[in-house]
Amino acid sequence: MHVLLVNPDVRDKSVIYGNRMLNPVPVNLAYRAAMTSVAHRVTVIDENATPITDFGRFADVDLVAVTSKFFGERRTGELVRGFGELGTPVIIDGYFPSYDPEAERIGAAAVIRGEVEQVWPQVLDHAAAGRLRPRYLGGPVDLATLPQYGPEHLPPHDYVFPVEATRGCPFSCNFCIETRYHHESFRTRPIDQVLAQIDSRTGDFVQFSDINIVGNPRYARTLFAELEPLRVLWGSQATITIAQRESLAQAAGRAGCMLVFIGLESVHPQNLVASDKAWSRPTDYRGHIARLHDAGIGVIGSFVFGFAGDTPDVFERTLEFVVDNEIEICHFNPLGSGPGVPLYEQHRRAGRMIDPGPGGPSHLRASVAPVSMTAGQLEDGLEFLYTSAYSRAVTRQRLRRHTADRPLPGPQSAAKKRAIIGLNLAYRRAVERHYGSVGAERLP
């Protein structure tokens, strides 16, 4: 068979998704490409880099598999219909088909719920025999059984090489789909396999796809010690617990960690309590961020707005926070969630969900009606934050450590500085594309 694996175009071209460098291909596509290539011809396409505009080009494809998150659901339906006109069966997997009943109604030949790797060989066998089942249920795969993949198993791209060391998270925040999707479990891949995967990389930077690389601190310390002599720069997502112990932060810094994405969520403690994330305390953020900086690690801080405790002054308070703490990269998002998590059900029962309209959901529009401000105030606040935080003046303040003559702590200081300054320029361009300008100083 000729199997086509697709990462669908994300129609939300807001600041975050407007820059494809910030959206590496899902690592499960690479695993599946390696698994498929043993007995079949495989092609992998990331539509965020190479959109499919002519379905006829793929007339020789026997099976299509689309991995769909919630922000790719509309394009997933278009792909199902487009390939359906060619008579090509389409399988869908990911968050959208795992939790949204709408997935059953878009006409896919089969739906895979949950992690896909465990059932993928069976799906291929069934497809080759012409007897696909309408539904498959994936389970928590043993990461030690996953294959190695190389650049040939990834779509042509200009972004970083993805690697997975851990899967899942030991925490269970009420807005997070990742924990539910990964079966409320936390698993680690054997470190020798992780190192072998890194050896097959292209370029000098690795992006760990993990949602919490320090979910098992003992494993993380061992991994970091093995990474240290490789002199590879890398980034990952983690919880703030990476900085609760100075020794763990320092180990990550020595291992080449350049940036860590942390869901800081809010400057208001009550909002973290409402998210079942009381273990993450905003009163401790200043010290924890300083500890990461002391280890030579930059911070991608992600903030969410629209909690019941948020009033319109939260935007200026957050801007002050990111400047005072010199946060290298800032993400500002409206409160939202998808089917499958407790927060979504709370909002749905309370009648607070907002129809996204024909354009679909966006990371810059309210999808949940705020309690202590209007949806318009929320969206204006996001514009204020993005245009302010990425203005030249505020960027210089946030990046003082990176524009100073003194080196950063840890290895490859100059490379880290260049990369972080370059990323800020990419974000600034994305803000300008979306809002037309940057540089607002206060809310209207």
CA distance 271 to 284: 15
CATH assignment of the domain containing 411: 3.80.30.20
Q: Is the pLDDT of residue 230 over 60?
A: yes
Same domain flag for 342 and 427? yes
Taken in order 401, 404, 406, 407, the sign of the CA dihedral is: positive
pTM: 0.93
Give the domain extent around 126.
Answer: 2-143
Query: Is residue 443 situated within a structural domain?
Result: no
The pLDDT tens digits for 130-179 are 999 999 999 999 999 999 999 889 887 666 789 999 999 999 888 888 88
Torsion of CA 22, 26, 27, 28, to 10 degrees: 180
Percent of the chain surpassing pLDDT 90? 69
Same domain flag for 235 and 353? yes
Report pLDDT for 154.
87
Closest CA to 79 of 173, 5, 174, 179: 5
Query: Is residue 152 situated within a structural domain?
Result: no
Mean residue pLDDT of the chain comes to 91
Report pLDDT for 441.
47
Same domain flag for 132 and 257? no
CA distance 194 to 334: 35
Same domain flag for 119 and 190? no
Same domain flag for 320 and 172? yes
Phi, psi of 383 (to 5 degrees): -60, -45
What ranges in 157-309 are assigned the alpha helix state H?
A: 177-181, 191-199, 217-227, 246-254, 269-274, 282-294
Query: Is residue 441 situated within a structural domain?
Result: no
141: helix, coil or strand?
A: coil
Binning the chain into helix, strand and coil, the percentages to the nearest 5 are 40, 15, 40
Report pLDDT for 396.
95
Mean pLDDT of 316-339: 94
Q: Is the pLDDT of residue 21 over 70?
A: no
Query: Is residue 46 situated within a structural domain?
Result: yes
The pLDDT tens digits for 275-297 are 889 889 999 999 999 999 999 99
Mean pLDDT of 331-352: 88
Same domain flag for 138 and 166? no
CA distance 59 to 4: 11
Q: Is the pLDDT of residue 442 over 60?
A: no
Q: Is the pLDDT of residue 55 over 90?
A: yes
**11-25, 88-102, 176-190, 256-270, range with the lowest pLDDT:** 11-25
CATH assignment of the domain containing 9: 3.40.50.280
Q: Specify the number of domains making up the chain.
A: 2
